[in-house]
Chains A and B, each alone.
Chain A
């Protein structure tokens, strides 16, 4: 049996809080031991605005996950998102002196340093600095270039950063529940661990996690992340739009969206009857309007993502792997066709890499992020042998919390 270790992934989403306890095996599969879920309150657009309320929900989810998995949860891997999180790519360059033509460990360090130290606004904090590629004399090279002959060594990093205080607040809030945060992971990066397999990443693929409050995206090209970010628009906006335009209560709008909503244009004349209840007089809704509201909202959101991707230098025409949708809103009817229209790329709803355990229940795109966190945790640990499993991260976070150290 493969060596295993247990990780807990926590996603505090706008619509639900989800805790997944998983056993990540070194063969790449994840065994789900238990899932705790609770509807989320006090969270808006992916960020906690009312911690006390959110804490109660979180407590619920945690207790459920503990019960089901029979694991005591002490530390979690936390997925965060929010429109404040932005990314960029930065390249470092080292030229060899004339008398030297072989790259050494020091050169590698220097180029990494150069590439990863990009100036970010003083209020921001680095979330991820992911090495994309090395180039030796302009030629791409995936592996470690130490010992390779050449004149010019370049490295490119994908850098994700967000507003420090917002990240810190969430981590601090979790600490109040005596939970240690092992690391914070930008949601789409976590989700991509689960949804985009190696092949898709090599070919180039776009992951869109359309959640309740945000639409997070990540683009992989040539096996490495190229662009990522978050737009502060999600499924909640659709419900809100419906509620405003159709003048129905929000809860009704939500129900209507789930039951009848579609992102495809509808034929005129089709009427949906909303039954009356104590607080609501019945109403008949034209399907055409309903769909148009949803369609215009989603279309706009996709268009925003598309513009941002182009601005970040992603080449959409080369994303052969297509678009992978996940997140609750990705279950909406017709959303794949709409995405295909906007991006001009084939769309797949998420398909999971192998899992064992209670998988069938969780092969739902809603769980991509928390499960992805477990995969991410596993990967991080395998990359850092030698040290104790969490020591480096604890260090990182004690610094983060005291606010004294930037994660350079």
Chain B
């Protein structure tokens, strides 16, 4: 949990009174994003752009501009040479430091592949990091048609950025361009790309800044982005009026990066942030999350945040950020987290697991499953305060490991049984169903292990795991709520409505808050929000542009549904005759007959499935 003192975040915090949040665009593409942000407006962040090309810099809209490598490039661009870009940035280090000094969060947007972005980007990121800021990099990868060389440069720069940034979000320009209609042209494609990045910056900025009902903090974001391949799917939608929550989500899912929600299925983690005015209801949030549940895969972890911001009025916004983690990335992370877990918990003398060389063992399937269990466990906070720190990961590693991998081999079965006993004790202590389940799994595995070991008589153990039960839980765990209960939180919110926490909404940096000096940027450890109900068979999943249904046509387009009986219109004799004729026939209003169920054929606003005869008569 990262906690910032309010005064640190407040207006006066920066060295020279600077805004603690800065958005810096580097190079042409970065500057374009900043311009887009300037045009669309962003609260609570200072915009700056850096470029070596003085003409491009001048035309930019950012209030703060830094010309890179003034002497080096003589005010020209870097000509796609990252080395030159790097030198230029290095030569202008002082000015860069001036911009990043005193910032708490620096959003860096760069277009990778060119000279300035790829070269200067990492330098600025480092400078910002050194100045003590949390650095979030938004990087756009070049379009496929820009060629292999640029792609390669982009890849290298990405590596370099990864070293300096706290979080790195990459955008595939190709994918952003895909969403643009082919005929829209390149300017349109670039604009969409810029806007998408701008939206994501704004959204990330507000989601880490806005405290609220259920917050998503910087750490959540960093945690979500912390793995090898941070190709990010980003969706943002805002809507008001009736059904606003649903429409906002739909819009978010229609965003180019999310590909109509299709890509969410592959996502490993999804961060959802809902923000609305005072009128945001629990019902809406619930419905929205249910809807989202249909779009994400079974194993996806959802991190969920909600905030109330008076500035939203009647509107509701939904931000979806997810990571299409590749299998390997997941594995890697799991392995990493296992090791970490082992290191930490091991030191706390929970279980001696030094002998388990996780990294070296080619993890077989059983162990993988165990490891995943660990991860899941790590996400769910310990349910019981003050009983055990016996962590299931350690047990799994210490005990299940030998079975599956048969390295290291356990010496005596008796020892193993001891462990089993310990675990059984634990099982009694732990009453939380989830936990019991997990422990049971562990027990099962241990039992299996025992059986397996008994069967193998020539088993040997190099070092045996010890299990120690610690009486007290560390205090940190205690303050974490067990799970997110929307109702309870809302109640609490209502009870303390007008309370200090929420006042941070918007920029989240107003210094004039009179109470609550400590702002928790990160609220509860998010539990896995499971899709609330399975999709009933045959439920149509809304995708893409809404299909014009027959009834909708009937409403919106008078030709189909308008007064079949022709009431209240002044008529000529001919029309009267016609009317009689019609009455004699008394046809239905917008009957589509046998085409009622199918997708209607709509051309020039006319539903062609309705008899032409009827439509003509009432035109």
* Contacts from A to B (Cβ < 8 Å): 44-45, 49, 83, 118-122, 231-233, 236-237, 239-241, 243-247, 250, 289, 292-293, 296-297, 299-300, 304
Residues of the B chain whose Cβ atoms lie less than 8 Å from the Cβ of A118: 182
Residues of the B chain whose Cβ atoms lie less than 8 Å from the Cβ of A293: 611-613
**Inter-chain contact total with CB atoms closer than 8 Å:** 74
Known: A296-B616, A297-B611, A297-B613. A250 touches B593 (CB 8 A): yes
Residues of the A chain whose Cβ atoms lie less than 8 Å from the Cβ of B613: 241, 245, 292-293, 296-297
Contact yes or no, B598 A245, CB < 8 A: no
Contact yes or no, B611 A240, CB < 8 A: yes
Return the CB mask of B175-200 against A: 1 if under 8 Å, else 0: 00010011100000000000000000
Chain A residue with the shortest CB-CB distance to B594: A240
Chain A residue with the shortest CB-CB distance to B601: A232
B610 to chain A, nearest CB (A): 8
Partner of B178, one of A45, A122, A296: A122
Query: Bound state CA distance, A304 and B601, in angstroms?
Result: 12
Contact yes or no, B587 A244, CB < 8 A: yes
A290 to chain B, nearest CB (A): 10
Q: A241-B612, A241-B613, A250-B594 are in contact. List 6 more A-B contacts (CB 8 A).
A: A44-B595, A232-B608, A239-B594, A241-B593, A244-B593, A244-B611
Known: A241-B611, A243-B593. A121 touches B181 (CB 8 A): yes
Residues of the B chain whose Cβ atoms lie less than 8 Å from the Cβ of A304: 603, 608
Query: Bound state CA distance, A300 and B601, in angstroms?
Result: 13
B468 sits at the interface (CB 8 A): no
Return the CB mask of B140-184 against A: 1 if under 8 Å, else 0: 000000000000000000000000000000000000001001110
Residues of the B chain whose Cβ atoms lie less than 8 Å from the Cβ of A292: 613
B397 to chain A, nearest CB (A): 40
B176 to chain A, nearest CB (A): 13
Return the CB mask of B576-597 against A: 1 if under 8 Å, else 0: 0000000001111001111100
Query: Bound state CA distance, A112 and B598, in angstroms?
Result: 40
Contact yes or no, A45 B603, CB < 8 A: no
Contact yes or no, B598 A119, CB < 8 A: no
Closest 3 pairs between A and B when the two form their complex, measured CB to CB: A119-B182, A241-B611, A232-B601
B367 sits at the interface (CB 8 A): no
B238 sits at the interface (CB 8 A): no
Residues of the A chain whose Cβ atoms lie less than 8 Å from the Cβ of B53: none
Contact yes or no, B608 A246, CB < 8 A: no
Query: Bound state CA distance, A299 and B613, in angstroms?
Result: 10
Residues of the A chain whose Cβ atoms lie less than 8 Å from the Cβ of B181: 121
Known: A240-B593, A250-B594. A233 touches B608 (CB 8 A): yes
Contact yes or no, B585 A45, CB < 8 A: no
Contact yes or no, B594 A245, CB < 8 A: no
Most buried by B among A119, A241, A299: A241
A305 to chain B, nearest CB (A): 11
Contact yes or no, B182 A121, CB < 8 A: yes
Query: Bound state CA distance, A142 and B591, in angstroms?
Result: 51
Partner of B595, one of A83, A240, A246, A247: A240
Residues of the A chain whose Cβ atoms lie less than 8 Å from the Cβ of B592: 240
Contact yes or no, A119 B612, CB < 8 A: no
Contacts of B459-488 to chain A: CB distance below 8 A = none
Chain A residue with the shortest CB-CB distance to B602: A232
Query: Bound state CA distance, A239 and B611, in angstroms?
Result: 10
Chain B residue with the shortest CB-CB distance to A242: B611
Query: Bound state CA distance, A296 and B587, in angstroms?
Result: 16
Residues of the A chain whose Cβ atoms lie less than 8 Å from the Cβ of B587: 244-245, 247
B609 sits at the interface (CB 8 A): yes
Contact yes or no, B594 A120, CB < 8 A: no
CB-defined A-B contacts under 8 Å, sample of 22: A45-B601, A49-B598, A233-B601, A236-B594, A237-B595, A237-B611, A239-B594, A240-B593, A240-B594, A240-B609, A241-B593, A241-B611, A244-B588, A244-B591, A244-B611, A245-B585, A247-B585, A250-B594, A292-B613, A293-B613, A297-B611, A304-B608
Contact yes or no, A237 B178, CB < 8 A: no
Contact yes or no, B609 A44, CB < 8 A: no
Chain A residue with the shortest CB-CB distance to B616: A296
B614 sits at the interface (CB 8 A): yes
Known: A244-B614, A292-B613. A120 touches B585 (CB 8 A): no
Residues of the B chain whose Cβ atoms lie less than 8 Å from the Cβ of A240: 592-595, 609, 611
Contact yes or no, B612 A300, CB < 8 A: yes
B543 to chain A, nearest CB (A): 11
Residues of the B chain whose Cβ atoms lie less than 8 Å from the Cβ of A231: 601, 603, 608
Chain B residue with the shortest CB-CB distance to A246: B585
Contact yes or no, A237 B608, CB < 8 A: yes
Chain A residue with the shortest CB-CB distance to B184: A119
Return the CB mask of B518-557 against A: 1 if under 8 Å, else 0: 0000000000000000000000000000000000000000
Query: Bound state CA distance, A44 and B598, in angstroms?
Result: 8
Residues of the B chain whose Cβ atoms lie less than 8 Å from the Cβ of A239: 594
Residues of the A chain whose Cβ atoms lie less than 8 Å from the Cβ of B608: 231-233, 237, 300, 304
Residues of the A chain whose Cβ atoms lie less than 8 Å from the Cβ of B593: 240-241, 243-244, 250
Residues of the A chain whose Cβ atoms lie less than 8 Å from the Cβ of B588: 244
Query: Bound state CA distance, A149 and B181, in angstroms?
Result: 38
Query: Bound state CA distance, A247 and B586, in angstroms?
Result: 9
B220 to chain A, nearest CB (A): 32
B602 to chain A, nearest CB (A): 9
Partner of B611, one of A49, A119, A245: A245
Query: Bound state CA distance, A265 and B169, in angstroms?
Result: 68
Residues of the B chain whose Cβ atoms lie less than 8 Å from the Cβ of A246: 585
A252 to chain B, nearest CB (A): 13
Residues of the A chain whose Cβ atoms lie less than 8 Å from the Cβ of B601: 45, 83, 231-233
